[in-house]
Amino acid sequence: MNRVITFGEIMLRLTTPGFQRFQQSSALEVTFGGAEANVAVAIAQLGGEAAFVTRLPSHEIAERTLGVLRGLGVDVAQVVRGGERMGVYYLEQGASQRAGKVIYDRTGSAMATAQPGDFDWKTIFGGARWFHWSGITPALSSSARQITEEACCAARAAGLTVSFDLNYRAKLWTLGEAARALEPLMQYVDLCVTSAEEASAVFGIESANGPGREERAAKELQKRFDFRQIALTERRANIANETQWAASLFTGGEIVRSSDYDISIVDRVGAGDSFTGALIFALLRGDESLKAVEFAVAASCLKHTIPGDFNLVTIAEVEALVAGGGGGRVQR
């Protein structure tokens, strides 16, 4: 059974319509999102088996959140109920030279106030093969850091593969706080997803700019933390709504790199999570390294074109893009 468990916070997402700024919008579009939930949705939409674990209060907005996830094929049976409020984030989409903006309102959320022992990890991990978490979750509070370690220990004891997306958020903690909290947890990680820039900022991984930077970063990460696999995303952009996107996967001393995609962006939030979800899906179905990273980058390329956090694409659409079926023509 290739069941994947993801753990983290899902938030109410409130977005200004179109490219309106916060100060000019009279309405906000309501959706939901969060890194680990996004990964679970990506896997489920591709046909994999994914469960999302979090803590949510008992009220109507939380019920709607769970209903949305269920409708997208994600198992939410092990979500813990408690706390007074959901986390919220406000999003203003960027355009051209104007960057997008996120405002968090998640202090004191149900996940931030969760405590060790709230989650029955033995039951949660029963029948599972993979556990995924990101650096956002331990950034929420000291208790969330303890729970993350508790989960990692239980996953390792249960024999699960553990993946981790560094996902540094400067609005949640400092680089020093992130390094001190995350480094001890790297002993549990099999697959690390990050970028050369992020690894340098948080872990001090030195890899000079220029050709071969990702391979140098991967080798340094593997040397320090003994990861089995390392995925490094590459984004090159000069304006907010266009980017070039690719990734590399390092396994057993060998690095492979995907094709490059030039993307006109509709919504970039969740694009990295869609890459991670598709990569996990591809590795679990037995894809070799190059095929897996090509599949994951193509899935993430498509996510850039979809409003909202979730990657609502089919496996056929991703495989068509990998095979060269892009171009954006209307399918009739």
Active site residue ranges: 273
CB 206 within 8 A of CB 212: no
Residue with tokens 């813990």: 80
Sign of CA dihedral 92, 192, 188, 155: positive
Q: List residues bridging with 317 in a β-sheet.
A: none
Beta strand extents in 110-202 (DSSP E only): 128-134, 161-165, 191-194
CB 233 within 8 A of CB 249: no
CA distances for 90 relative to 34, 62, 160, 279, angstroms: 12, 17, 35, 28
316 DSSP assignment: H
Spatial distance between the Cα atoms of 128 and 126, rounded to a whole number of angstroms:
6
In a 3-state reduction of DSSP, which class is residue 45?
Answer: helix
